[in-house]
Structure 1
Amino acid sequence: MQSAREPIEFLPDFCTGARVLRVLVVCEAVAIVLALGGSLTDELPLRFLLLSIYLQWIGVCSAAALCLIKRYASPLSARGMALLAYLVLLLVTLSITEITYVAGRYSGFALLLEDASHDGFLARSVGICAVVAALALRYFWLRSAWQNHAQAEMRAKLEALQARIEPHFLFNSLNSVAALIAVRPADAETALEDLALLLRARLSEQGPADVTLAEEMTLVDAYVGIESLRLGERLCLDIDISNTARRCRLPALSLQPLVENAIGHGVARLPQGGTVAITANRRGNALVLEVSNPLAGDAAAVPGNRQALANIRNRLALRYGDAAVLRVDEQADRFTVAMIVPQIAEPKDSSKQR
């Protein structure tokens, strides 16, 4: 088992163009510092150019080496990979510095070698690399540790939010089943199966996960089936979901609690009942959901509705940040909740494109 303090996969992927560009920017910054650290003569622009070429060469080769380490040294522990990366960076710098010193005497790089012995030039270059590489690897290590901690904290919060059960729903469902056992045993059996499906989803040990809207609607149908036993014809459902919306993904148990609120705090409190409307469409890169229910204008507010909405809002914020929206529109006779869930593009499988 991995140590809890040891960051896993701490080394970024240097096989991407964006990461290589960052390495080149750092090398260019070091070139500026070294050029300004010398004498301010007319040869400063040329010295800066030569330093840039020299350091960019080291940067490109170092990025390539880190890319190979990331790709082929993954069986190593994080500490082993860090040590290997550090030694390889020193070796790359030593090799390029040696080539530059030998070939520089016969090229324009001779300007960099003035008043510098072979050992002094090597020691200076490798020393600078040792400091920069140590700082960079330490930054990657701390960054990975922080990300692992943040992800673990987020998973814990999501699991705590997902594991909450509405006791009144459970008691009402069991009472409905108990009343049906003697007179309608088949319906009672179906209700128990629906209840088991809902409890399994709410108490899942796999933690929060994304599901398709079609899969989430399975839980909605199970819940509505149980509530229909209690409310009968007083409960009506109006569903308008496009085919593209059904394939969209959203956090598990994010729509079903909205329907539960719409029935428990709306339809169930009206003597004549009412209709819960569910609409869903995909708009651009987002899934737009709306759940609307009638309200009893003279009825007192029922505790728990706002808590459930806050629960869902917190889950969306932890998963998507500011990109997700949960908006409430409360009128005299109608309560509407709109939820906007961004659709994160899945990585393409390169093996299928060949």
Structure 2
Amino acid sequence: MNLFSESVGHPYPRLRRFAIDMAITAVFNLVIALIITYVMRVHTSFVVNLVVSMCIGILAVTFVDGGRLLLWGLGKPPKIPFILLVVAGLPAAQQLGKLIAAQFTGIPASYFFGAHQQNPAGYIVVTLLVSLFITWFFWNRSALAYLKAEAEVEKARAAAIEKQALQAQLQLLQAQIEPHMLFNTLANLQGLIAVDPPRAQQMLDQLILYLRATLSSSRAEQTTLGQEFALMEAYLGLMKVRLGGRLSYTLHLPDDLRDRRLPPMLLQPLVENAIKHGIEPKIEGGHIDVQAVTENAALMLTVRDTGLGLRDAGATSGTRVGMANLHDRLQALYNGNASFSLTPNHPEGAIARFILPL
């Protein structure tokens, strides 16, 4: 790996860190030039001292910080090798920086190398303080970066655990929905075997087709509206065999929404509830219309029936298995950003609708 290696979050994270440290060092070099000029009075020209300070400081950052990033990246460097890097890098930066400053200013290099003799005690103190500051600064920058990276890893781990727990919850709710529909169908099939064997055989064949269609998709984390509507067609076909002429249905799905992804088994509880509480108890039966549209940057799924409507208080209380599980799944999946409503359909029946954010 090198200084320009890529990682998540920024295309060149180490180069970005190097640039930030270089900018901070430039400010620090300005302070050093002021101290040397007006406190230590090593040279009367502030510009000359600033050039020398910049040359030495830039090289020190390049050797120490650049070497740290090149060798250990954004992680925390080992203490002893890092100290050795500082011990070797700072003197080299000081000597080479003076030579470069001499080229920029036109002043002989010997002047810079002998300047410390004007105030040797102050020069030693400043050099020691600068060395300690650079060591402390870059070491702590590495330590903070390491702690930040560890925090990000821990945050990602917690998010993964939360996602697994949510998926387990959704699978449990989904597993409750499927037996609800299956047991109702098997109970009707048991009754038909004795009184109408051909119709029982037809229902059994349709049930097998439906179970084959739902076997894989019902355990998936996501499905498409096209697949969901295909499953609804198989389900309603099964109910059509059971209810005969008392049930009719239509499905409306625009072609541009067929590939829209959504959690599986959302529509089935709505259709099942419409049949159980609306169509089946009604002597003459009724019609079910399933529709998907987009409106105001949201996906609106509607199940409209012409059954008995909301006469049964239990059907509107949200305590029934299908509706309760649907509500729980929406809350878990969309953090309260999805809405569900169950309202009367005029002149008769009910309208079940939920709106999902796109």
Q: Which moved more, 1:259-268 or 1:328-337?
A: 328-337
Report what 1:86 is aligned to. Answer: 76
2:334 equivalent to 1:320: yes
Report what 1:340 is aligned to. Answer: 355
2:215 to 187, 200, 223: 200
Report what 1:170 is aligned to. Answer: 182
Report what 2:313 is aligned to. Answer: 301
With over 3 angstroms needed to count, the CA separation of the structure-2 counterparts of 1:314 and 1:86, relative to structure 1, is farther
Give the letter aligned to residue 336 of structure 1. I
Q: Is the 8 A contact 1:242 1:281 kept in 2?
A: yes
Report deviation, 1:244.
Answer: 0.9
With over 3 angstroms needed to count, the CA separation of the structure-2 counterparts of 1:281 and 1:106, relative to structure 1, is same
Q: Which moved more, 1:243-252 or 1:94-103?
A: 94-103
Distance 2:268 2:310 in 1: 26
How large is the RMSD of aligned CA atoms in angstroms?
A: 4.8
Report what 1:209 is aligned to. Answer: 221
Report deviation, 1:188.
Answer: 3.5
Distance 1:64 1:16 in 2: 21
Q: Which moved more, 1:136-145 or 1:221-230?
A: 136-145
With over 3 angstroms needed to count, the CA separation of the structure-2 counterparts of 1:118 and 1:42, relative to structure 1, is closer
Q: Is the 8 A contact 1:93 1:126 kept in 2?
A: no
Report what 1:190 is aligned to. Answer: 205
Distance 2:174 2:70 in 1: 42
More helix by share: 2
With over 3 angstroms needed to count, the CA separation of the structure-2 counterparts of 1:237 and 1:103, relative to structure 1, is same
Report what 1:17 is aligned to. Answer: 10
Distance 1:283 1:96 in 2: 63
Report what 1:77 is aligned to. Answer: none
Report what 1:131 is aligned to. Answer: 143
With over 3 angstroms needed to count, the CA separation of the structure-2 counterparts of 1:157 and 1:65, relative to structure 1, is farther
2:143 equivalent to 1:153: no
With over 3 angstroms needed to count, the CA separation of the structure-2 counterparts of 1:64 and 1:102, relative to structure 1, is closer
CA displacement 1:39-62 (0-9 Å, x = unmatched): 9x799xx999x79x959x959985
Report deviation, 1:225.
Answer: 1.8
With over 3 angstroms needed to count, the CA separation of the structure-2 counterparts of 1:291 and 1:185, relative to structure 1, is closer
Percent of aligned pairs sharing the same letter: 22
Counterparts of residues 164-313 of structure 1 (less than 5 Å): 164-165=176-177, 169-178=181-190, 179=192, 182-184=197-199, 186-197=201-212, 200=215, 204=219, 208-283=220-295, 286-296=298-308, 299-302=311-314, 306-307=318-319, 308-313=322-327
Q: Is the 8 A contact 1:240 1:280 kept in 2?
A: yes
Give the letter aligned to residue 261 of structure 2. R
2:93 equivalent to 1:103: yes
Report deviation, 1:311.
Answer: 2.0
Give the letter aligned to residue 283 of structure 2. P
Give the letter aligned to residue 216 of structure 1. E
Q: Match of 2:313, SS? A: coil
Report deviation, 1:184.
Answer: 3.8
Q: Is the 8 A contact 1:97 1:122 kept in 2?
A: no
Distance 1:241 1:64 in 2: 58
Q: Is the 8 A contact 1:93 1:129 kept in 2?
A: no
Higher-Rg structure is 2
Q: Match of 1:327, SS? A: strand
CA displacement 1:166-205 (0-9 Å, x = unmatched): 655333312433415722465134223135337735874x
Unaligned runs of 5+ in 2: 1-5, 37-49, 102-122
Q: Match of 2:233, SS? A: helix
Alignment size in residue pairs: 302
Distance 2:242 2:218 in 1: 24
Q: Which moved more, 1:261-270 or 1:139-148?
A: 139-148
CA displacement 1:77-109 (0-9 Å, x = unmatched): xxxxxxxx4348997998699657633555599
Distance 1:309 1:63 in 2: 59
Q: Match of 1:116, SS? A: helix
Give the letter aligned to residue 164 of structure 1. Q
Q: Match of 2:283, SS? A: coil
Q: Is the 8 A contact 2:210 2:234 kept in 1?
A: yes
With over 3 angstroms needed to count, the CA separation of the structure-2 counterparts of 1:92 and 1:286, relative to structure 1, is farther
Q: Match of 1:287, SS? A: strand
Distance 1:132 1:325 in 2: 40
Report what 2:119 is aligned to. Answer: none
Unaligned runs of 5+ in 1: 1-12, 68-84, 344-354
Give the letter aligned to residue 93 of structure 2. A
